[in-house]
Amino acid sequence: MSISLVAGLGNPGRDYANTRHNLGWVVLEALAQKQGLSWQNKPSFEAEIARWDYAPGRTRWLVKPLTFMNESGRSLAAVARYYKLPAAEIAAIYDDINIDVGWIKVSEKGSAGGQTVSLVCWSTSGLNLRVSVSESAQSNRALWISKTSSLENSRQIKVF
């Protein structure tokens, strides 16, 4: 499988900037920084995108939808249509409260990990990468993921 589009999911706005729910953006920004990529705002896609020419004749698009997470499928579908990318070449990175801290779960055409993101993201994408945000069992999941993080965990993200 070849991945042509990598989406980091999160929520826009200052209120969500440092929350666990934006971990997909944090991971994608770390990758873009490591590769020396710059972000461009693309209103027609409702996203920020970065072009990564990772091999001769091979381009991978990094995409941060600027919609709320549950509407990110609309943004990703627009990018995929424009660049004529099949759904099997799309990978999504997002937070998952259901796995232990420090773990990453990678699955092909798996579940949304408790997310309510537009179905286009989960039912047809080629690869899902879920990053743990759980430090302990939380009774109010919405409050836990929208709570501002200490950023200590995000500083530990390293892209190899």
pLDDT higher than threshold 50 for residue 115: no
Nearest CA to 121 out of 149, 94, 83, 82 is that of 94
Residues 125, 87 contacting (CB under 8 angstroms): yes
Query: Given this model, what pLDDT does residue 126 score?
Result: 53
pLDDT higher than threshold 60 for residue 85: yes
What are the helix and strand counts (H, E) for the chain?
Answer: 5, 7
Token look-up 């991971």 returns 27
pLDDT higher than threshold 70 for residue 71: yes
Token look-up 């971990």 returns 23
As beta bridge partners, residue 106 has 129
CA 118 – CA 75 distance, rounded (Å): 10
Token look-up 């799309």 returns 90
Neighbours of 21 (CB within 10 A): 23
Top-level CATH class of 5-155?
alpha beta
Mean pLDDT of 125-135: 54
CA 75 – CA 148 distance, rounded (Å): 25
**Between these two residues, 25 and 117, which has the higher pLDDT value?**
25
pLDDT higher than threshold 50 for residue 60: yes
Alpha helices by DSSP H, listed for the chain, are 23-35, 72-83, 119-123, 141-146, 152-155
**Residue 21: active-site member:** yes
So where are the chain's domains? 5-155
| Strand ranges, E, within the chain | 5-8, 40-42, 47-55, 58-65, 90-100, 104-107, 127-134
Active-site choice (10, 16, 19, 21):
21
